[in-house]
Chains A and B, each alone.
Chain A
Amino acid sequence: MTQEQKALLQKLGPFIALLVVCAGLSIASPDFLTMGNLLNVMRQVSINALIAFGMTLVILLGGIDLSVGSILALSSVLTAKLISALGLDPALATMIGILAGALMGAANGVVIAKGKVAPFIATLGTMTILRGLSLVFSEGRPVTGLNSDFFSMLGGGYVANLIPVPVIWMLLLFVVFWFVLKKTVFGRHVYAVGGNEEASRLSGLSVDSVKIWVYTISGAMSAMAGIILTSRLNSAQPTAGTGYELDAIAAVVLGGTSLTGGRGWIFGTLVGALLIGVLNNGLNLLGVSSFYQQVIKGVVILLAVLIDRGGKK
Chain B
Amino acid sequence: MQIRMHDISKAFGPVRVLEGVAFTLSGGEIHALMGENGAGKSTLMKILCGVHQADAGEIGIDGQKVQIRSTRDAERLGIAIIHQELNLIPQLTVMENMFLGREPRRYGVIDRAKMKRDCLEYLALLGAGQIDPQTEAGLLSIGQQQMVEIAKALSLNAQVLIMDEPTAALTDREIELLFKIMHDLKARGVGIVYVSHRMEEIFQICDKISVLRDGQFVGERNIPETNFDEIVAMMVGREIGERFPGRTVAQGAVRLRVEGLADEGQISGIDFAVHAGEVLGIAGLMGAGRSEILKTLFGINRKSAGLVELEGIPLNIRKPQDAISAGIGFVTEDRKSQGLVLGMSVRENITLTNLHGYANSGVINGGSETQAVNEQIARLKIRTRDAELEVKSLSGGNQQKVVFAKWLEIKPKVLLLDEPTRGVDVGGKAEIYHIINELAAQGVAIVMVSSELPEVLAMSDRILVMHQGRQAGIFNARTATQESIMAAAAGGQ
Are B364 and A196 in contact, with the CB atoms below 8 A? no
| B295 (CB) vs chain A CBs: closest residue | A202
Are B330 and A192 in contact, with the CB atoms below 8 A? no
Q: Is A185 an interface residue (CB 8 A)?
A: yes
Q: How distant is the Cα of A199 from the Cα of B338 in the complex, in angstroms?
A: 4
Q: How distant is the Cα of A205 from the Cα of B351 in the complex, in angstroms?
A: 12
- 1/0 per residue A29-44: CB within 8 Å of B? 0000000000000000
CB-CB under 8 A from A206, the residues of chain B are 321
Are B352 and A192 in contact, with the CB atoms below 8 A? yes
Q: Is A200 an interface residue (CB 8 A)?
A: yes
| B13 (CB) vs chain A CBs: closest residue | A3
Q: Is B149 an interface residue (CB 8 A)?
A: no
Are B343 and A263 in contact, with the CB atoms below 8 A? yes
Instruction: Say how far A259's CB is from chain B's closest CB, in angstroms.
Output: 14
A187-219 contacts to B (CB < 8 Å): 188-189, 191-192, 195-196, 198-206
Of the listed residues B321, B339, B341, B366, the one surrounded by the most CB atoms of chain A closer than 10 A to its CB is B341
Give which listed residue, A191, A192, A202, contacts B300 with CB less than 8 A.
A202
Q: Is B233 an interface residue (CB 8 A)?
A: no
A248-284 contacts to B (CB < 8 Å): 262-263
Q: How distant is the Cα of A198 from the Cα of B300 in the complex, in angstroms?
A: 11
Size class of the B contact interface (CB-based, 8 Å): 20 to 34
Give which listed residue, B352, B364, B406, contacts A184 with CB less than 8 A.
B364
| B357 (CB) vs chain A CBs: closest residue | A185
Q: Contacts A192-B344, A199-B341, A202-B330: A185 and B353 contacting too (C-beta < 8 A)? A: no
Q: Contacts A185-B356, A185-B359, A202-B332: A191 and B320 contacting too (C-beta < 8 A)? A: no
B299-350 contacts to A (CB < 8 Å): 300, 320-321, 324-325, 330, 332, 337-344, 348
Q: Contacts A199-B339, A202-B338: A184 and B359 contacting too (C-beta < 8 A)? A: yes
Q: How distant is the Cα of A137 from the Cα of B362 in the complex, in angstroms?
A: 39
Q: Is A186 an interface residue (CB 8 A)?
A: yes
Of the listed residues B352, B366, B410, the one surrounded by the most CB atoms of chain A closer than 10 A to its CB is B352
Q: Contacts A185-B364, A200-B341: A205 and B352 contacting too (C-beta < 8 A)? A: yes
| A192 (CB) vs chain B CBs: closest residue | B341
Are A200 and B352 in contact, with the CB atoms below 8 A? yes
Size class of the A contact interface (CB-based, 8 Å): 20 to 34
Q: Is B355 an interface residue (CB 8 A)?
A: yes
CB-CB under 8 A from A200, the residues of chain B are 341, 352
Q: Is A309 an interface residue (CB 8 A)?
A: no
Are A188 and B355 in contact, with the CB atoms below 8 A? yes
| A188 (CB) vs chain B CBs: closest residue | B355
Q: Is B113 an interface residue (CB 8 A)?
A: no
Q: How distant is the Cα of A26 from the Cα of B356 in the complex, in angstroms?
A: 48
Q: Is B363 an interface residue (CB 8 A)?
A: yes
CB-CB under 8 A from B363, the residues of chain A are 183-185
| A205 (CB) vs chain B CBs: closest residue | B352
Are B321 and A204 in contact, with the CB atoms below 8 A? yes
Give which listed residue, A183, A185, A186, A203, contacts B406 with CB less than 8 A.
A203
CB-CB under 8 A from B338, the residues of chain A are 198-199, 202
- 1/0 per residue B289-302: CB within 8 Å of A? 00000000010100
| B358 (CB) vs chain A CBs: closest residue | A185
CB-CB under 8 A from A196, the residues of chain B are 337, 340-343
Are B320 and A188 in contact, with the CB atoms below 8 A? no
CB-CB under 8 A from B321, the residues of chain A are 204, 206
Of the listed residues B342, B355, B362, B406, the one surrounded by the most CB atoms of chain A closer than 10 A to its CB is B355
Give which listed residue, B300, B330, B348, contacts A188 with CB less than 8 A.
B348
Q: Contacts A203-B352, A203-B406, A204-B320: A186 and B362 contacting too (C-beta < 8 A)? A: yes
B99-146 contacts to A (CB < 8 Å): none
Are A195 and B341 in contact, with the CB atoms below 8 A? yes
Q: How distant is the Cα of A185 from the Cα of B358 in the complex, in angstroms?
A: 9
Q: How distant is the Cα of A188 from the Cα of B330 in the complex, in angstroms?
A: 21
Are B324 and A204 in contact, with the CB atoms below 8 A? yes
CB-CB under 8 A from B410, the residues of chain A are 204
Q: How distant is the Cα of A202 from the Cα of B406 in the complex, in angstroms?
A: 11
CB-CB under 8 A from A188, the residues of chain B are 348, 352, 355, 364
Q: How distant is the Cα of A198 from the Cα of B335 in the complex, in angstroms?
A: 11
CB-CB under 8 A from A203, the residues of chain B are 320, 324, 352-353, 406
Are A262 and B362 in contact, with the CB atoms below 8 A? no
CB-CB under 8 A from B359, the residues of chain A are 184-185
CB-CB under 8 A from A201, the residues of chain B are 320
Q: How distant is the Cα of A199 from the Cα of B342 in the complex, in angstroms?
A: 10
Q: How distant is the Cα of A204 from the Cα of B407 in the complex, in angstroms?
A: 11
Instruction: Say how far B12's CB is from chain A's closest CB, in angstroms.
Output: 11
Q: How distant is the Cα of A195 from the Cα of B390 in the complex, in angstroms?
A: 12
Are B342 and A191 in contact, with the CB atoms below 8 A? no
Are B337 and A198 in contact, with the CB atoms below 8 A? yes
Are B362 and A195 in contact, with the CB atoms below 8 A? no
- 1/0 per residue B241-284: CB within 8 Å of A? 00000000000000000000000000000000000000000000
Of the listed residues B324, B356, B363, the one surrounded by the most CB atoms of chain A closer than 10 A to its CB is B363
CB-CB under 8 A from B406, the residues of chain A are 203
Q: How distant is the Cα of A188 from the Cα of B369 in the complex, in angstroms?
A: 13
Give which listed residue, A183, A185, A204, A262, contacts B341 with CB less than 8 A.
A262
Instruction: Say how far A16's CB is from chain B's closest CB, in angstroms.
Output: 23
CB-CB under 8 A from A186, the residues of chain B are 362
Q: How distant is the Cα of A66 from the Cα of B493 in the complex, in angstroms?
A: 62
Are B348 and A191 in contact, with the CB atoms below 8 A? yes
Are B337 and A185 in contact, with the CB atoms below 8 A? no
Are B348 and A202 in contact, with the CB atoms below 8 A? no
B20-65 contacts to A (CB < 8 Å): none
Q: How distant is the Cα of A205 from the Cα of B356 in the complex, in angstroms?
A: 11
Q: How distant is the Cα of A67 from the Cα of B151 in the complex, in angstroms?
A: 50
Instruction: Say how far B188's CB is from chain A's closest CB, in angstroms.
Output: 41
CB-CB under 8 A from A189, the residues of chain B are 355
Q: How distant is the Cα of A203 from the Cα of B337 in the complex, in angstroms?
A: 12
Instruction: Say how far B63's CB is from chain A's closest CB, in angstroms.
Output: 38
| A201 (CB) vs chain B CBs: closest residue | B320
Q: How distant is the Cα of A201 from the Cα of B298 in the complex, in angstroms?
A: 12
Q: How distant is the Cα of A181 from the Cα of B342 in the complex, in angstroms?
A: 18
Q: How distant is the Cα of A200 from the Cα of B366 in the complex, in angstroms?
A: 20
| B348 (CB) vs chain A CBs: closest residue | A188
Give which listed residue, B320, B339, B342, contacts A195 with CB less than 8 A.
B342
Q: List 30 A-B contacts (CB under 8 A).
A: A183-B366, A184-B362, A185-B355, A185-B356, A185-B362, A185-B363, A185-B364, A186-B362, A188-B348, A188-B352, A188-B355, A188-B364, A195-B342, A195-B344, A198-B338, A200-B341, A200-B352, A201-B320, A202-B298, A202-B330, A202-B332, A202-B338, A202-B339, A203-B352, A204-B320, A204-B321, A204-B325, A204-B353, A204-B410, A205-B352
Q: Residues on A close to B: CB < 8 A? A: 183-186, 188-189, 191-192, 195-196, 198-206, 262-263
List 5 A-B pairs, minimum CB-CB distance, nearest first: A195-B341, A204-B324, A196-B341, A203-B352, A204-B321
Known: A199-B339, A204-B410. 7 other contacts (CB 8 A): A184-B364, A185-B359, A191-B344, A199-B340, A204-B320, A204-B321, A204-B324
